[in-house]
Structure 1
C-alpha cells in the first residue's frame, strides 16, 4: 500500500530512493543531535548511503537536535504515518519510553540505536543495535590501569572523570563500566571527582580547567568520548601539566587518534559510526523480514592505545 507523507512531516524529512513501491519497507529514524559532533554527522551520512543502496528501503530521516520534546513529537509523527519500523537514537533513555511504548502498541517495531533506553522500556523494543557501553567503560579502566602499572604508580594514582550528557544512557553506562572495573584491576587508584562534559569539547576544557585549579595532583583523566578527552587535554596543555597526566577516552575520534600519534593522549575505544549506522538499518530490515534478531545486538569495540594504533585506520569523523 502506497503511503503518503503529510506536508508537515515532509518538511522535516529526507526520503531516499525512488517512489514508494508496494513492497518497500518504510523505515523512520529519529536521531539524537546530528550537529553536536562529527560522530553523529558521519552516522547520518552512512545511514542515508546504506538506505540509498537498498532498493527495498525508503527512509524518513529526522533529527531531534538534542531536544527530548522534539524527539517525542517526531515519534508521534512517524506513528501517525504508519511507517513499517522506527529507529530511535534516544536523547534521553527514560523520557522517550512513553513514545516508544506507543509505537509498540501500534505494532510498529522499534529499534534503539547507539544508546539504549532504560530498563523499564525494554519490553517495548524489538532490538537494540550498537556498542556495549558498559564493556567500553570497563575496557577504558583496564587501559588506564595498565598504563599506571607500566609507570609504577598504580598504588597512588589519582584521577578525574569527565562524563557525557546527564540522563543519556551511553554516558551513564560508560561511567558505570569504568567505575565498576577500575577498583577490580587497580584498587588503590582514587577517582577524586566526576563532572559532565555533555559530549562538548569546549565545556570539557572548562571542566578540566576547574579540576586543574582544584587538584594539584592529577595522574589520569577518563573522558566518556575522545571529543571531551581532547578538550581536557587542551586545558592541561595550556596549564603546562599535560605531560604528567594519562588521558583515556572512548569512541576514538580523529582528534583523539591524532593526539595519540603525537604522544599526548594514551588510549581509547575504537568505534565506527559507519558500522553503527549500517548495523541499525540492517537490524530494522531483519526485524521486518521476520528474522531472529538478538535483543541486544552489539558490535565489537576494541581497545586502542599508542602501542597498537597502527593496527587501526584513522577515524573519518
Structure 2
C-alpha cells in the first residue's frame, strides 16, 4: 500500500471513529461473507487484513464468514447475518447473479449491503449501498494495452495469436476482466487474434492443465492473458515444461509469484492490486455508510499497470 493511501485511510478511520461515537451508543456490528478464503493467497491476505483493520477500530465488531466458493452456503450466511441483526453486511459474492435474492432480503430488512472486490449483477444494484473494490473492466483493458504494446515492440502486432485463461465462470470479476480485455484488444491491436478462452477457476494447477492443452492444440501461441497472476504462473509453468519459449504472459492482480517471474524476465506484465487496500477500503466504506456519509456507488481504488520495465516502482506483493 502506498504511503499516500495509508495516510488517507488512517484519516478516514479516525474520522469514522469520531462519528461512530455520535451515531451509535454501542459498537457497529458489521458482518462479512467472503467468497472462498482458501482458494488463493489474495483472499487469505484480504481476510487477515480485514480482521486486523476491524480489531484496530474500537467502535467496530465483526462477524467474519467464508462461503468456501459455495453459493448456497453464502446465501445461508447472508440469512444468518440478517437474523443476527448486524448493522451492515459486506459480501464478496460467489456468484454475481445467484446472491441477489439474499442481498434483496437484507435490503428489505433495512441492513445496508456493501459489495466488495467483485460486484453483483446490475439487476441487484438497487439493493446495495456501494461497491468497494477494483474496476475490473479497466483492469482487463489495461492488460490488453500491456500485451499490445509489447507485441508492437516485438514487431508482431500484425500477426500474433493469443489464448486467454479466465477466472471462475459466472463470477463477476472473471466476466469483467475478460470483457475489458476482449473489448480493448481489437481497438489497440486489431490484427492480433484471440484464438480461444478457457476457465482456470483462479487455480494455478488447473490453469497449468488448461495451458498444456492449448500447447498441444496450437503450434503458434505468442501471448497468454490470464485473469490473475496465480493462473498466469500456472500457464507459464506449462510452457516452460514444454520448452515453448518466447510467449508473452500478461495477467491481472499481481501476485508475488507473478512479481518474481517478472523479475526473472519470464512474465511480462500485470495489474497491481493490493488485498490489504481492498479489505481496508471495504471496511471503511461500511463504516462511512453507517455514519451517513456520502459514499460513491462505485467506490473504486486505482490498479495501475506493472511490467518488467517499471516493476521497480512497486513493492513486491505480500500475497
TM-score greater than 0.5 by the shorter chain: yes
Cα distance in 2 between the residues matched to 1:58 and 1:225: 32
**SS at 2:306's partner residue?**
strand
Cα distance in 1 between the residues matched to 2:247 and 2:271: 18
Structure 2 equivalent of residue 39 of structure 1: 42
Q: Deviations over 1:113-140 (max 9, x none)?
A: 0000001000000000000000000000
Among 61, 65, 69, the alignment partner of 1:58 is 61
Structure 2 equivalent of residue 200 of structure 1: 203
Cα distance in 1 between the residues matched to 2:125 and 2:36: 22
Matched, 1:162 2:162: no
Cα distance in 2 between the residues matched to 1:303 and 1:162: 19
Structure 1 equivalent of residue 255 of structure 2: 253
Cα distance in 1 between the residues matched to 2:28 and 2:203: 36
User: Structure 1 residue 271: deviation in Å?
Assistant: 0.1
**SS at 2:234's partner residue?**
helix
- List aligned pairs for 1:230-241, cutoff 5 A: 230-241=233-244
Cα distance in 2 between the residues matched to 1:206 and 1:247: 16
Structure 2 equivalent of residue 182 of structure 1: 185
Matched, 1:283 2:289: no
Matched, 1:109 2:112: yes
Using the size of structure 1 for normalisation, the TM-score is 0.93
Q: Deviations over 1:67-125 (max 9, x none)?
A: 00000000000001100000000000000000000000000000000000001000000
Q: Deviations over 1:222-246 (max 9, x none)?
A: 00000000000000000000x2200
Structure with higher helix content: 2
Cα distance in 2 between the residues matched to 1:139 and 1:218: 21
Cα distance in 1 between the residues matched to 2:85 and 2:26: 14
RMSD between aligned residues: 0.6
Cα distance in 2 between the residues matched to 1:73 and 1:162: 31
Cα distance in 2 between the residues matched to 1:287 and 1:295: 11
User: Structure 1 residue 218: deviation in Å?
Assistant: 0.1
Using the size of structure 2 for normalisation, the TM-score is 0.92
| Structure 1 unmatched runs, 5+ | 1-20
Structure 1 equivalent of residue 16 of structure 2: none
User: Structure 1 residue 22: deviation in Å?
Assistant: 3.9
